[in-house]
Amino acid sequence: MPESPRFFLEVGKHDEAWMVLKRIHDTNMRARGEPEKVFTVNRIKIPKQIDELVEMQSGSTNPASKALFRVKTQLHGIWLTFMRCFNYPVKDNTIKLAIVWFTLSFGYYGLSVWFPDVIKHLQEDDYASRVKLHNSERIEDFTFNFTLENQIHTNGVFINDRFVNMKFKSVTFIDSTFQNCYFDDVTSVGCFFRNCTFVEVFFYNTDIDDSKLIDTQVINSSFHHNKTGCQMTFDDDYSAYWVYFVNFLGTLAVLPGNIVSALLMDKIGRLPMLGGSMVLSGISCFFLWFGTSESMMIGMLCLYNGLSISAWNSLDVVTVELYPTDRRGTGFGFCNSMCKLAAVLGNLIFGSLVGITKAIPILLASTVLVCGGLVGLRLPDTRSNVLM
């Protein structure tokens, strides 16, 4: 990849700039089926370097004044270039592109935050539906040396029992009594004792502390060598692992979409791929309404990511091809800033709705993506255009 002709002109290498321009010309003419057309240059406008402008317009010899003038000149140039993106004939294209970038980013990044947490809530609801209830049980002289999981014990009585080398996982004791019991090497995750009574109980090497004893009386009991720090592992709570795994599956689903968009972009055109992908992504979001299991939600996530990546690829190409060279970098940067703004708003809005309602995120994402896709279809087709 050679340097740009503009760079060679700015550093005084006019011959190198001419050679690069000739190479670009020959490549474009071969693509248009006119390889015999000869490259000619009538006039080259050499841009003034910022150092020359500083010397010409800054009468002060103070380095600080020159540095300030340099910064002001550069900022002024950036502002003028930015405003030219809203001049004819690219004004309408800039507005439409900003809308498409904003809507696509808002839906994509918003759902990226929402998906894993919704799946986690589905898992929690399913886990809670399988809880085991124990009422008014009485257990004496028994040794618990296995894991108790997903249970609720109400009005239980435990006398002379031993809890040794075991784990409580999502277990709640309510209005229960423990008398002359022995707890040794006990780890608890999501375990609580509510309104319970401990009488002459010995705790050794456990993580049971005041945070787990809620409105509980402890009478003539002692705690020795309590465990400190977090005792949780992925075997106990794999929600963090699950978030990464779901994102990995969603990212993996992008691969087929990249391949399809690379093969079909020049055949079906940028705009049909852009608008069609966004509309189909919005429709796939709507079907999330009927997702009642984690497997269905993961399948919908993969489908959504596979469809939306084609929109991202075509949007990048359309944005580059719609701007002339002197405004291309600024225009693309402005659209990308709209993308980042939408991503932040999407994360905040969709993240705040996790666990509250499923209807609003689905309808919001579907509406935004479909509207953005329809706006994208109204952009000029650039498939056969030569870059300006």
pLDDT tens for 120-161 read 777 777 778 889 999 999 999 999 999 999 999 999 999 999
- % of the chain surpassing 70 pLDDT: 86
Angle at 103 between CA 102 and CA 108, to 5 degrees: 100
Determine whether domain 90-124+237-376 maps to CATH 3.40.50.2020. no
At residue 7, does pLDDT exceed 90?
Answer: no
The span from the CA of 328 to the CA of 322, in Å, is: 8
At residue 220, does pLDDT exceed 70?
Answer: yes
Task: Indicate the pTM of the whole model.
Answer: 0.64
Least confident of 138-147, 209-218, 345-354: 345-354
Domain extents in the chain: 5-80, 90-124+237-376, 129-224
The residue-averaged pLDDT of 72-94 equals 77
SS3 content of the chain, % helix, strand, coil (to 5): 55, 15, 30
Supply the CATH classification number for the domain 129-224.
2.160.20.80
Cα–Cα distances (Å) from 57 to 10, 47, 60, 76, 302, in that order, read: 19, 16, 9, 14, 58
The span from the CA of 354 to the CA of 115, in Å, is: 9
E strands, 156-220, where? 157-159, 162-174, 177-179, 182-189, 192-194, 197-199, 202-206, 213-214, 217-219
CB 129 within 8 A of CB 292: no
**Residue found under tokens 């309104």:** 195
Given this model, what pLDDT does residue 48 score? 54
At residue 179, does pLDDT exceed 90?
Answer: yes
Least confident of 21-30, 164-173, 175-184: 21-30
DSSP 8-state secondary structure symbol assigned to residue 49: P
Given this model, what pLDDT does residue 121 score? 74
Nearest to 156 by CA among 176, 182, 184, 128: 176
Residue 338: both structure tokens together: 């709209």
Residue 241: both structure tokens together: 């692992």
